[in-house]
A and B are shown apart, each in its own frame.
Chain A
């Protein structure tokens, strides 16, 4: 059915419904609108088109706002109802109701029960928003490195407490006073550890609850990138308008950079010499562009690569995680990351092998650029980026830089860059 004929059906049905609701005869309304009763009958049964002027006259005759009879509003309502029905189709069988929506009667339903139709559309929209929120929360619960580390810490302390307490309670006759004292000391240290960790966990979850947005737009964009940056109309991770705007700009920039440094050129150059500086020189392209393209294309040697970009204030404005490189929440990054060293050394490529507390090592290249997009009188802007890839098994020539994800879950007690105490035991 064409949209034009659908419009007629809706308008005609609505005219009829309104007339019947007023208990008025066709002849009476037809006369008031300046048409014959036979013609009105055809309109009401959706067999004749209704022009805008005639709709206005009928609206006046039926004492109803013209918009109530017009097509645009009804089309939008109809489209929304179809979306509701499509959403039901995607749900698993047991989650659906007993009967499928009567799609062939959707126009009739919308015309006869506009209030109920709007209520259904509104509820469906709220349901979708809640679903997105639930998915975001679930992602956060399962991917948040702070939460995972804290829960592991709680579990470890509880395990030690339970086993040690049971040893003491079993009354083993062979338990020497030395062992008894040792286990008592372990109970003391583990209970303190559990207490500290539990307090930290409660405080963190409290902040979680107070965070009404659940995820920042940057968090949504990061999740979208982790899902492979699907087209915006299929991007379920992008719930907020701000996130969609950021993602849209990112896609535009990616397309422009891909045009400036095509895949084939980058594949060929990286196969000849994987060093980003050598690629930049060979292709006569800026190093920062080469680094971003390597993280996006992930050619041989850059499998699992990630990219972090921060602005001059150190705020991460792009977070694409490398495999195994845990990213903290916004604003919590470890100050030892080479990314931040690059900010103070613009135009200097800094290579560093870094090691996370768990022992995982990564090769990083950091590079910062400065710009004056406002001209000579404009402000000076800085941005740094760090290309990260899982380290190969080869021993590094330079000493390994021991970093962390963020202070609260980093056990390096002697770290000179520590901002706050860790909830973890010193490692």
Chain B
């Protein structure tokens, strides 16, 4: 396994973050977690992950705002970073379309669904 972070998880619920990090780490990916929306963009620029898993409701800055700023990045490679949104049931379709995410997953989710979706986005 390389030292490079594959996935940046932006999630303020510590127990959800811990479970997701464990699931994806056991599947072989390097995962880093931050819990505050205000720190998300600096972290994405510094880490340059292959995938960002983004909760919609975050302190200080919403997942939607973060995604919009990411897509406006002048660094085109960074702007194209793949993003998986974690949403409430019913928000997924609209949010993914409006906010230009690559995929969305409704909470609560099955661990197998999470693994499969991340596998597809990391391919």
Contacts and interface: CB of A to CB of B under 8 A. Distances in A.
A174 B25 CA distance: 11
B19 A155 contact: no
B60 A358 contact: yes
A159 B59 contact: no
A332 B11 CA distance: 29
A164 B15 contact: yes
B19 A163 contact: yes
Nearest to A149: B57
A353 B34 CA distance: 27
Contacts of B109: 159, 162-163
B61 A359 contact: yes
Contact of B22 (A152, A179, A360): A179
A333 interface: no
A174 to B, nearest CB: 7
Given A167-B23, A174-B26, A359-B37, A156 B18 contact: no
B16 interface: yes
A175 to B, nearest CB: 8
A167 B27 CA distance: 12
B108 interface: yes
Contacts of B22: 167, 179, 183
Interface in B45-94: 57, 59-61, 88-89
A183 B16 CA distance: 11
Interface string B87-104: 011000000000000000
B20 A163 contact: yes
B107 A159 contact: yes
A182 interface: yes
Contacts of B23: 163, 167
A167 B19 CA distance: 8
A104 to B, nearest CB: 46
Contacts of A189: 15
A427 B108 CA distance: 22
A160 B61 contact: no
Contacts of A26: none
B111 A159 contact: no
A170 interface: yes
B116 interface: no
Contacts of A357: 59
Nearest to B18: A186
Nearest to A163: B19
A259 interface: no
A320 to B, nearest CB: 23
A152 B57 contact: yes
A172 interface: yes
Given A155-B108, A166-B111, A172 B26 contact: yes
Nearest to B19: A163
B65 to A, nearest CB: 11
B16 A159 contact: yes
A163 B16 contact: yes
Most buried by B among A189, A359, A427: A359
Given A152-B88, A167-B22, A160 B60 contact: no
B19 A156 contact: no
B46 to A, nearest CB: 21
Contacts of A358: 59-60
A158 interface: yes
B110 interface: yes
Contacts of A164: 15, 18-19
Contacts of B38: 359
Contacts of A167: 19, 22-23, 111
A359 B108 contact: no
A160 B88 contact: no
B3 interface: no
A302 B45 CA distance: 33
B15 A160 contact: yes
A219 interface: no
Nearest to B110: A166
A155 B88 contact: yes
Contacts of B110: 162, 166
The 10 closest A-B pairs by CB, nearest first: A359-B60, A163-B19, A160-B15, A159-B108, A159-B107, A162-B108, A186-B15, A166-B111, A160-B16, A156-B13
19 contacts: A152-B88, A155-B89, A156-B13, A159-B108, A160-B16, A160-B19, A161-B108, A163-B16, A163-B19, A164-B19, A166-B110, A166-B111, A172-B26, A183-B18, A186-B15, A186-B19, A359-B38, A359-B59, A359-B61
Given A163-B20, A166-B110, A183-B18, 9 more contacts: A160-B19, A163-B23, A163-B108, A172-B26, A182-B18, A189-B15, A190-B15, A359-B37, A427-B59
Interface of A: 152, 155-156, 158-164, 166-167, 170, 172, 174, 179, 182-183, 186, 189-190, 357-360, 427
